[in-house]
Structures are given as structure tokens and as C-alpha cells.
Amino acid sequence: MPVKNVRNAVRGRTLSHARGQAGIPRGAGRKARTDGGETLGLRERKKARLRQQIIDTSIRLFRKRGYERTRIEDIVQILEISQPTFFRYFPSKDAVLREVGRRGFHCMRERLETELSSNATTAERLTRMYEGMASEVESDRPLWRAVVLSGAMDPVRSPDMRRAEEVAFALLTQILKEGQSCGEVSKKFPLPHLAQFMEGLYRTIVRGWAVDLGGPHSLKERVRSAVGFFLEAARP
């Protein structure tokens, strides 16, 4: 995913996260301004700024050195902060990558919603959506390789990703349901199974591509083949 997309995504979450860390309850804004609210606002901004700097620096190192060779020691040295300070914001380097993972699910949800609002066929919807995601991932391989190796988007290894995954899964299921209604998708199999099959194909291909399993290859081409295989198998 391009640098701009990742930064825009994680920055949107930073200020709200900092509010939670500061322990400011909802509805306390007016009182805070009366009793030295300017100081609280400045503290929030500083915390949000440092959190974003940790994310940006980590992503830069993941791209340059890879997941395995990027250490928390390297991140804190560049930022000139202590490790305890780092751990106040993130429990591990994997936790930083989960910010990228959240963006991945957010982009997937946006693409699914766009396809649901279109009048395209099921084949056109799935092909356009998965090839689009593959293009974004392929354009930023070092970062997404780190995401894959860390399991940052895996709802099993990262339980806090489950809700985002469930939303995306529900939208994919809806696309397939509409495909069944139009006679484009088989009704022999339960919809959740079909959605799971398609998602499983995509994730397996991305994981293999990220670590060159089977040798270097084009992710977009493999994904196109996977969608074609799924559509052929799911034909009524």
C-alpha cells in the first residue's frame, strides 16, 4: 500500500487513541477547558504526535530492513526515546503493524461496499475488488511482507482484528448472495462456506507471494487465476 494511504489511515486513529490513554472521560471537554484545558489539549497532541512518529519510523524500517531485522531498539534509537516510552504506546513491534492491518481491512470494506453499490456481475465485482487489493499490496511488498509474517491481519493471532474481519466477511457474503439471486452463483453450498473459500484462496496466495513460496511471481496474476477458479467452481 502506498505510504500516503498508510499514513492517512493511522493518523485518523491516533488522536482518539491518545484521548483514551490520557484517561479523559466523555463529556469532560468543557470542564477541562475551564480548569486548564489548554494544558490537557497540548498533552494529548504531544502523545498523538509521538505515537504517529513511532508508527512512521517503524514502517520506514520495516520497508528498509524487513520484519525480522527491525528491532524495537532501532526504533527507539532513531526517535531518541526509551523502550519504556515505546511500550506505553505499543506492547510490541507487531502491534505497530496491526495499525497497517486495520487499514487493510478498512480498504477491503470500502471496496466491497463500492462493489455492492454497482450494477456489475458477480464475476466483475470479485475480479475488480481482489485485483485492486492485489495491486495495492504488490506496490508495497516490503511492508505487506512484514504484515504477513507478523500475523497482524490474522484474526486468530490478532484477536482485535476479528471485528474488522467479520464486517468484511459479511459484505463479501452479501455479494455472493446477490450472485445467487441472479443465478450467477451456485446454491449447492452455504453462503458462509463460499465466502470462506474465496477469502481462503486470496489469503493463501498473498502469504505465498510475500515469502516467495513457489518462486517469485506476480501477485495480481495469481489472484486473477484464483478468482477465475472460484467462479468456475461456484458456477450454477
User: Three-state SS for 98?
Assistant: helix
**Domain extent for 191:** 94-233
Q: Are residues 122 and 102 in the same domain?
A: yes
Say whether pLDDT at 208 is over 70.
yes
Count of structural domains, the chain: 2
Q: Are residues 154 and 38 in the same domain?
A: no
Q: How far is Cα of residue 217 from the mean position of the Cα atoms in its chain?
A: 23
Q: Are residues 115 and 207 in the same domain?
A: yes
| Among 14, 96, 86, 90, residue whose Cα is nearest residue 62 | 96
Q: Are residues 101 and 80 in the same domain?
A: no
pTM to 2 decimal places: 0.74
Render pLDDT for 141-199 as a digit per residue (tens, 0 to 9).
899 889 988 888 888 877 888 888 999 999 999 999 999 999 999 999 999 999 999 99
Confidence of residue 39 (pLDDT cuts 50, 70, 90): low
Let me know how long the chain is.
Answer: 236
Q: Are residues 27 and 106 in the same domain?
A: no
Q: Are residues 85 and 137 in the same domain?
A: no
Look-up: residue for cell 463460499? 194
Residues 93/58, Cβ–Cβ less than 8 Å: yes
| Among 130, 111, 231, 120, residue whose Cα is nearest residue 171 | 111
